[in-house]
A and B are shown apart, each in its own frame.
Chain A
Amino acid sequence: MDVSTLTICEAASGLRAKAFSSVELTGAVLDAIEKRDAELNAYLSVDAEGALRQAAGADAARAAGADGDLLGVPVAIKDLINVEGQPCTCASKQLLGYVSPYDATVSAKLRRAGAIFAGRTNMDEFAMGSSTEASAFKVTRNPHDLSRVPGGSSGGSAAAVAGGEAIAALGTDTGGSIRQPASFCGCVGLKPSYGRVSRYGVTAYASSLDQVGPMTRTVEDAAVLLQQLAGCDARDGTTLDLPVPDYRAALRGGLKGLKIGLPKEYYIDGADREVMACVRRAVDACAAAGAEIVEVSLPHTEYAIAVYYIVATAEASANLARFDGVRYGHRAANPRSVFELYAKSRAEGLGTEVKRRIILGTYVLSSGYYEAYYGRAQKVRTLVRKDYAEAFKTCDVLMTPVAPTAAYRIGEACDDPLKMYLGDIFTVPANLAGICGISVPCGATAAGLPVGLQLLGPAFGEGTILRAAYAYEQEVRA
């Protein structure tokens, strides 16, 4: 069985038709990992035994009459989402050896749906980065060009899906960490609206920005996976108690009558010409297919990166304080005092980019600086949110590039953090505003590097962006 192009929907049909069993399917995925991962480095750990045991259980359940789109389908999990009994290193030496004592809500939901947890994917340490080079353990390679990065921070999930090592995966998106690697690797990645999917059990980077979302081969698969993830959770007070629509049903609406907004601040000089050409072609094709194109403005876009690196790092400085070596994770040997225990454990356990962001976040919250940085950033964040609210009065979705470039070479952006931060300019504002977005492949550069098209929708407008992305994928792109 070739799992390298199989979708969730195809796998579910195959399982229903008894063309193959979940044990066979899971075995094929494990084989693919075995064969390719030495090259790609998409996974940090693989639980073959546990996955096959789960698969046997899924087969038994199906034989007993159970059914479901994910029953018996392996899903790769980004290594910051807790799955009981599995490691959850967050790609950090700090959590090497830690075993999750509990399931995240998304893990519990997938478990109930019968999904198989085959392995855990690489990422930038604690989701801080845009290339997966900030993993403490390995550098994941882009399946389309092994000399290039897969994007990040959910680079392992993107590479696994694009490289044929996973049928689908979960990622998290704090400032573009699902959409940008999906764009770099040529798969579909959806960041749900803030409050749509529970964060319980998802190691926090920036609590007011983080969301878990699907990374898949098709838009339909993204809808199927999101269906399982979405919903209010009593364990996460920031989830909203709003009905979860039937996302698969929402796919079929077409582009006719849809108003697509082009924010002029996203179509700027400085972005890669080939990337912009792909995006422009996609926009034109959508117009030709019946969508109405309108120009809109998001005037505070230029401040988004600055606001993001204040808000995210401030929250991170508190969120990551718990990694102190006292209760779990790395503990320095022979400390002479409790404060030396903290200092040494964290100095040894945490990587450079993580330390950089903790220091930045600690600084902006310090006495005397709070108002100048954090207070002001929150005010500008409100303006960014208002920009989108205003824009969605005149259009249904926004269509933009995902990132200003295609995948860059490994090591190319490492020595210039600021340059790498600016690569998030088109994705970060959506997190600040709490709206939803999806990245869908829209062509490639001359060198064969994938380019993603970003569709942004209003908060809880996942149905709309899925509809537009599906129509583009099925009718226009072809």
Chain B
Amino acid sequence: MSKYLITIGLETHVQLKTNTKMFCGCGIAVLDREPNTNVCPVCLGYPGALPVMNREAVKLTVMSGLMLGCEINHVSTFDRKNYFYPDMSKDYQITQQAKPLCQGGGVTIQTPAGPKRVRINHIHLEEDAAKINHYARFSGVDFNRCGTPLMEIVSEPDLSSPDEAMAYLLALKQILVYAGVSDCNLEEGNLRCDVNISVRPEGQAQLGTRAEIKNMNTFKGIYAALEYEIARQLATVARGGVIVQETRRWEPDLGETQSMRSKENAHDYRYLPEPDLVPVALAPEQVAAWRAALPEMPAARRERMMAEYGIPEYDAGVLADARENADFFEAAARLCGQGKTVSNWFMTEIMRLLSETGKTITECPLTPAALAELVVLVDTRVINGPTAKELLPELFREGGMPDALVRARGLGQVSDTSALEGFVEQALAANAKSVEDFRAGKKAAAGFLVGQVMKLSKGKADPQLVGKLVAEKLAGLA
């Protein structure tokens, strides 16, 4: 059997982070809201209701296009896509067909063979459909979500494996989250995918007949669907069968794709320019202003943070990967002026706490100011390292400022020589054996004695000072 090439293209639907729906004043519904409580005549498609353009959604789409290197159409139009289904209140969807907001562009992904450019065909803006819930004897339509702004990023068929598709989606997600365009929260359906797949024998220029798999909303599902579908198509051609052009549905419970409709039964969407919306005209100055306001992308940020804070490449890379982590780190580093120390705290203690709690840094009460203050408290020797390490989880869980906690609990380290000398005497008297050992040349015994002093001070002694005092005392005895 000859070798086959796999071709994959993705249509990625991204829910934009706007305050209101695409064409009306309704808010963006949270998942557990009572059905049909986040609706109005516009998103319910009542007689006479008209759409009004959400300018913020236009801005976020254009910003995405700018980050992905797209051309921005300075005049962009909307169209009606006609189809009868209960999830669309007007029985047509307002979308962009003839003149989308963004065209061209692409994403660079890492593959085992090196970096690869995945081209984007276009990005358009549209409205989301309602959710249909099926019950035993009837179905219900919940319009809370209907009309939510969706940006659809359509790739060229440049991907050749499920791994590349994953890399593409992760790269896309990182850029969109970074720009604050979308939360890309998969559990909440912020990011959904349709995929197009075909196979063809190596050496054949023309792409094979494609199947489209609709509406997957987990990375795992997309990956599994791609694997299944590739295997299905390869098996079909291997036994001399023909791939038919069709739309298929991923059934996660069965772990297989199933045919929804063939090309012959494909919808004729009868696209029509949307007469209720005037074309969106974007002044070049407006686009330029949005371009200027774009956030720094992860790779550039990593380089800058290495230079600016003197942190290692690895640390900078990990921090830059998630915008909220980098933002937190930079805020704290700027407050205390000790980037390296802040980075150490973040890379070890905070990362551990984040993974233990499963939260993101913006979801916990710990503030950059609190971390910066903690670093300063250690640096100025108000508290010692172990005390700081004990305080951090509390700040992480409960919030608050470390200085206040230190004062309230008297956690400040003891740096008063006269106070510590008493503990040193006490420790030496109680551990004559260790003193003997030291005199006999076992220098390690000094460390044990320092530990005993720390214990007597209930951990609050300045360890450096204790070390010095113990050493002096032992030297005096010698």
A complexed with B: yes
Binding site for B on A (CB under 8 A): 80-82, 88, 90, 95, 98, 101-102, 104, 199-204, 206-208, 234-238, 314-315, 317-318, 321-324, 326-328, 338-339, 342, 362, 365-367, 370, 374
A207 vs B14: C-alpha distance when bound (angstroms): 30
Interface size, chain B (Cβ < 8 Å): 30
Shortest A252–chain B CB gap in Å is 35
B residues within 8 A CB of A206?
A: 275
- B50 pairs with A237, CB closer than 8 A: yes
* A interface: dominant SS: loop
| A365-B48 contact in complex given A318-B80, A321-B92, C-beta closer than 8 Å | no
Partner of A102, one of B46, B82, B275: B46
Shortest B48–chain A CB gap in Å is 4
- B268 pairs with A324, CB closer than 8 A: no
A-B pair number, CB within 8 angstroms = 101
Q: Which residue of B lies closest to A208 (CB)?
A: B275
8 A Cβ contacts from B203-234 to A: none
A residues within 8 A CB of B50?
A: 199-200, 235-237
A207 vs B86: C-alpha distance when bound (angstroms): 23
List 14 interface pairs A-B (beta carbons < 8 Å), by A numbering: A88-B48, A95-B47, A101-B46, A200-B49, A204-B276, A207-B276, A235-B52, A236-B50, A237-B276, A321-B84, A327-B44, A362-B270, A366-B268, A370-B271
Q: Which residue of B lies closest to A88 (CB)?
A: B47
Contact with A along B71-115 (1 / 0, CB 8 A): 000000000101011100111100000000000000000000000
Q: Is B180's CB within 8 Å of the partner chain A?
A: no
Shortest B37–chain A CB gap in Å is 14
- A365 pairs with B270, CB closer than 8 A: yes
| A365-B41 contact in complex given A200-B48, A203-B47, C-beta closer than 8 Å | no
- B48 pairs with A201, CB closer than 8 A: yes
A residues within 8 A CB of B92?
A: 318, 321
Partner of A237, one of B44, B49, B278: B278
| A318-B82 contact in complex given A235-B52, A326-B141, C-beta closer than 8 Å | yes
Q: Is B400's CB within 8 Å of the partner chain A?
A: no
| A238-B272 contact in complex given A201-B49, A326-B86, A327-B89, C-beta closer than 8 Å | no
Q: Is B162's CB within 8 Å of the partner chain A?
A: no
B residues within 8 A CB of A199?
A: 48, 50
A residues within 8 A CB of B86?
A: 324, 326, 338
Binding site for A on B (CB under 8 A): 41, 44-53, 80, 82, 84-86, 89-92, 139, 141, 268, 270-272, 275-278
- A322 pairs with B89, CB closer than 8 A: yes
Q: Which residue of B lies closest to A209 (CB)?
A: B275
B residues within 8 A CB of A366?
A: 268, 270
Partner of A104, one of B48, B271, B275: B48
- B52 pairs with A234, CB closer than 8 A: yes
5 closest residue pairs by CB, A with B: A321-B91, A365-B270, A207-B275, A208-B275, A203-B47
A63 vs B198: C-alpha distance when bound (angstroms): 77
A321 vs B45: C-alpha distance when bound (angstroms): 10
A residues within 8 A CB of B45?
A: 322, 327
Q: Which residue of B lies closest to A374 (CB)?
A: B272
- A102 pairs with B47, CB closer than 8 A: no
A203 vs B47: C-alpha distance when bound (angstroms): 5
B residues within 8 A CB of A200?
A: 48-50
A residues within 8 A CB of B85?
A: 338
Shortest A334–chain B CB gap in Å is 12
Q: Which residue of B lies closest to A342 (CB)?
A: B84
A323 vs B48: C-alpha distance when bound (angstroms): 12
A residues within 8 A CB of B41?
A: 101-102, 201
A159 vs B245: C-alpha distance when bound (angstroms): 58
A residues within 8 A CB of B268?
A: 366-367
Shortest B359–chain A CB gap in Å is 40
Q: Which residue of A lies closest to B36 (CB)?
A: A327
Q: Which residue of A lies closest to B81 (CB)?
A: A318
Shortest A381–chain B CB gap in Å is 12
15 further A-B pairs in the complex, CB-CB below 8 A; given A204-B47, A324-B86: A82-B47, A88-B47, A199-B50, A201-B41, A207-B275, A207-B276, A236-B50, A238-B275, A314-B272, A321-B84, A321-B92, A324-B84, A324-B91, A338-B139, A365-B82
Q: Which residue of A lies closest to B85 (CB)?
A: A338
Shortest B276–chain A CB gap in Å is 5
| A80-B47 contact in complex given A238-B276, A321-B84, C-beta closer than 8 Å | yes
A206 vs B275: C-alpha distance when bound (angstroms): 9
- B46 pairs with A328, CB closer than 8 A: yes
Q: Which of A90, A95, A327 has the most CB of B within 10 A?
A: A327
Partner of B52, one of A237, A327, A338: A237
- B48 pairs with A81, CB closer than 8 A: yes
B residues within 8 A CB of A318?
A: 80, 82, 90-92, 270, 272
A residues within 8 A CB of B44?
A: 327
A201 vs B91: C-alpha distance when bound (angstroms): 18
A residues within 8 A CB of B278?
A: 237-238
Shortest A296–chain B CB gap in Å is 29
A208 vs B52: C-alpha distance when bound (angstroms): 15
Q: Which residue of A lies closest to B48 (CB)?
A: A201
- B48 pairs with A82, CB closer than 8 A: yes
Shortest B312–chain A CB gap in Å is 53
- B276 pairs with A322, CB closer than 8 A: no
A204 vs B47: C-alpha distance when bound (angstroms): 7
Shortest A432–chain B CB gap in Å is 13
- A315 pairs with B275, CB closer than 8 A: yes
Shortest B131–chain A CB gap in Å is 14
Shortest A337–chain B CB gap in Å is 11
B residues within 8 A CB of A374?
A: 272
Shortest B108–chain A CB gap in Å is 37
Shortest B117–chain A CB gap in Å is 33
B residues within 8 A CB of A314?
A: 272
A residues within 8 A CB of B141?
A: 326
